[in-house]
Amino acid sequence: MTLWEKTGFETKTSIQEQAMPLLEEGKDVIGQSPTGTGKTLAFLLPALERIDVKKQNAQVLILASSQELIMQTYQEALKYTKEKGITAGSFIGGANIKRQVEKLKKSPQLILGTPGRVLELIKLKKLKMHAIKLIILDEADQVLAREHRKTVDTIISSTLKSERQLAAFSATMPNDIIDVAKNWMNDPTVIKVEQETLFADAKVDYFYLECEQREKSTLLEKMARFEGMRGLAFSNDITELNVLEQKLRFKKVNVRALHGEKDKLDREQAIQQFRANNVPILLATDVASRGLDIPDVGTVIHIDFPLDEDQATHRSGRTGRAGKDGQVVFLLTPREVRECKQLAASKGWNLVQKVIRASEFVDPK
């Protein structure tokens, strides 16, 4: 059985169809494709095929900016490594570095890590990069953000350009990020998938509720009480998120918050409870808009207006995945309505106003 057959999928998505053969041939690739189109498998399966199981050293490195995304990709990799006899290890910031050094003594062939921790292990001379033949940047526009760029440059520069392959994937890939990635690559192929035809049947509705800032917690409370609600609600501000969580829990609404200042255990529990359907709404910063496999999100709620179009794309893309219908709801103050209509027009979204009555969205009278 091939690795692809083991996935249980019959048909490959566009990004998988285009990227996998190139990666298997050893080509450098920049891949842009909407959220939920199978980018992880597009790079993970070819990466595993590149590993020589007879050699007990690090051969493939996958970098991502969030601990959650690394752990998720690591769990996905474990579905395929055992059968091929491949060893893998995850190395994230915040975890005990002594234990990670012990893990490296077992010579994992597949390394998954956050840039800061990976560089730390390289500087300690515990992670040897001489045999790395493939580096993958997942959610590349985040990994190559200015605050990470020097770290990533140092990591990539510790390998030989002539002997290693480099790939970068994301749902949004601004031109400046593509240019940065190209500087490290050898004649890369750039793949841009605008819309996934395999999932074209998915219907996503776009609504906005007009309200004052102080009314947003009340609207969230009402939505949390909708029957069957599975919502991911995004805020730009961690303090606001914590206040909302406290307000809603005081009103006996079982919500959880997910952001970078929560400790690792809190973040894991928040995701697990949401996945288990114990929490109707997960309050989050952008840590949850990036790559995390949070299945069956029926509703994305923009508590705050997105800071830019890319942020709107990543957040809204958490619903309507893999052919399943969804809805995106913006909570807008009166002055934000016009801006949101302009955003919707540029994205081709049919944005309509709604109000909440009797635990459902209805047209305003």
**Domain CATH code at residue 172:** 3.40.50.300
Quickly list DSSP for 32-44.
Answer: E--TTS-HHHHHH
pLDDT at position 163, please?
Answer: 87
pLDDT at 94: 80
pTM above 0.85, yes or no: no
Q: If you write DSSP's letter for every residue of 108-164 in order, what string do you get?
A: -SEEEE-HHHHHHHHHTT-S--TT--EEEEETHHHHTSHHHHHHHHHHHHTS-TTT-
Tally Cβ neighbours within 10 Å of residue 112.
28
Tell whether 137 and 234 lie within a shared domain.
no
User: What span, in angstroms and rounded, lies between the C-alpha atoms of 313 and 335?
Assistant: 21
* 224 and 171 within one domain: no
| 132 and 211 belong to one structural domain | no
Q: Are residues 18 and 142 in the same domain?
A: yes
Q: Which pLDDT value is given to residue 67? A: 85
Please check whether residue 183 lies inside any domain of the structure: yes
In sequence order, what E strands does the chain have?
A: 29-32, 60-63, 88-91, 110-113, 134-138, 165-170, 189-192, 204-210, 231-234, 256-258, 281-284, 299-302, 326-332, 351-353, 355-357, 360-362
Question: Are residues 234 and 137 located together in one domain of the fold?
Answer: no
Same domain, 58 and 119: yes
Instruction: Fill in the DSSP letter of residue 215.
Output: G
Size (the chain), residues? 365
pLDDT for position 66:
86
Residues 206 and 180 in one domain: no
Instruction: For residue 197, tell me if it sits in a domain.
Output: no
253: in domain: yes
Residues of the chain with pLDDT under 50: none
Assigned token pair, 38: 């199978």
User: Which of 192, 224, 245 is the last residue in one of the domains?
Assistant: 192
Quote the number of domains for the chain.
Answer: 2
Read off the amino acid at residue 328.
V
On whether both 155 and 265 belong to a single domain, the answer is no
Taking only the tens place, the pLDDT of each residue in 46-84 is 999 999 999 999 999 999 988 888 988 999 999 999 888
Give me the sign of the Cα torsion angle 252, 255, 259, 262.
positive
pLDDT of residue 293: 67
- The residues, ordered by sequence, that sit 6+ positions from 1 with a Cβ below 8 Å of its Cβ are none
Tell me whether residue 114 is in a domain: yes
Question: Is 302 found in the same domain as 184?
Answer: no
User: In which region does residue 359 sit, left (phi positive, over 0), alpha (psi from -120 to 50) or beta (all else)?
Assistant: left
Check whether residue 217 and residue 169 sit in a common domain: no
Domain end position, chosen among 139, 160, 192: 192
| First vs last C-alpha separation in the chain | 58
Residues of the domain holding 257: 202-362
Q: Answer with the one of 165, 192, 219 that is the final residue of a domain.
A: 192
Asked if residue 105 and residue 218 are part of one domain, the reply reads: no
pLDDT given for residue 199 in this prediction: 55
Domain match, 165 and 91 both: yes
Q: How many CA atoms lie within 13 A of 219 on its CB side?
A: 23
